[in-house]
Amino acid sequence: MTAAFVIAVSQRSATGYGAGLALFIVAALSDWLDGWLARKMGLVTPLGKLMDPLADKILVSAAFVFFTEQKLCPVWVTALIIGREFLVTGLRQIAVEAGQVLAADHLGKWKTTVQLAYLITGLIWLTAIHSKNQPAALGWLGNLTRPLSEGGWLQPILLSAAVLLTVISGWNYLWSSRNLLRGK
């Protein structure tokens, strides 16, 4: 769905942004549902453990790069978020080679949730500002989800929380992997 998301938002129109928003929400919800069902039904596989977080990282990274291009997110934030994802992926690879599993922690899950919320609010805003004859609900949501540069408050709070959780969860992964990094 990431490719379809990128194609949709690249159209630079209300229809493209709306389609991107729908695809992004469907991807996020289906990812959550897939993981929940796999755990509930005992269908967790090594391939799933690799592909699920990888697919998440690709979608979120693509959206943050797009937001940076749209001037909705500073470059340093996008670099920090993508850098943290590379760090955790590398640590997981080191753990696998050492015969260990570096599982996702609760802060990492919260980080992902807040990042998704930020990206969804931004996509709502982009859809709303490019829509002519928009429904009243879309106008209200567009006003609620305005970025800081447009006098908004929700996007800046979500972005600040995403940055904070990205740094803290990245540090937690690094700290919990310190023995692996020492070769112990």
Q: Per residue in 63-77, pLDDT tens?
A: 999 999 999 999 999
The pLDDT of residue 134: 61
45 inside domain: no
9 inside domain: no
Please indicate whether residue 169 or residue 148 has the higher confidence score (pLDDT). Answer: 169
Q: Is the pLDDT of residue 137 over 70?
A: no
111 inside domain: yes
Mean pLDDT lowest among 60-64, 90-94, 111-115, 121-125: 90-94
Q: What is the pTM of this model?
A: 0.86
* 15-30 average pLDDT score: 94
Contact 59, 1 (CB under 8 A): yes
51 inside domain: no
Mean pLDDT lowest among 29-43, 138-152, 153-167: 138-152
Three-state DSSP at 151 gives coil
31 inside domain: no
Distance of CA 43 to the CA centre of its chain: 24
Query: How many domains in the chain?
Result: 1
21 inside domain: no
pLDDT band at 166; cut points 50, 70, 90: very high
**Domain housing 95:** 56-181
24 inside domain: no
* 26-37 average pLDDT score: 82
> 């340093």: which residue's tokens?
76
For the stretch 92-104, pLDDT in tens is: 888 878 888 777 7
Contact 134, 142 (CB under 8 A): yes
pLDDT band at 50; cut points 50, 70, 90: low
Q: Is the pLDDT of residue 135 over 70?
A: no
Q: Is the pLDDT of residue 150 over 80?
A: no
151 inside domain: yes
What are the angstrom distances between the C-alpha of 75 and each of 31, 60, 65, 71, 81?
26, 14, 8, 9, 10
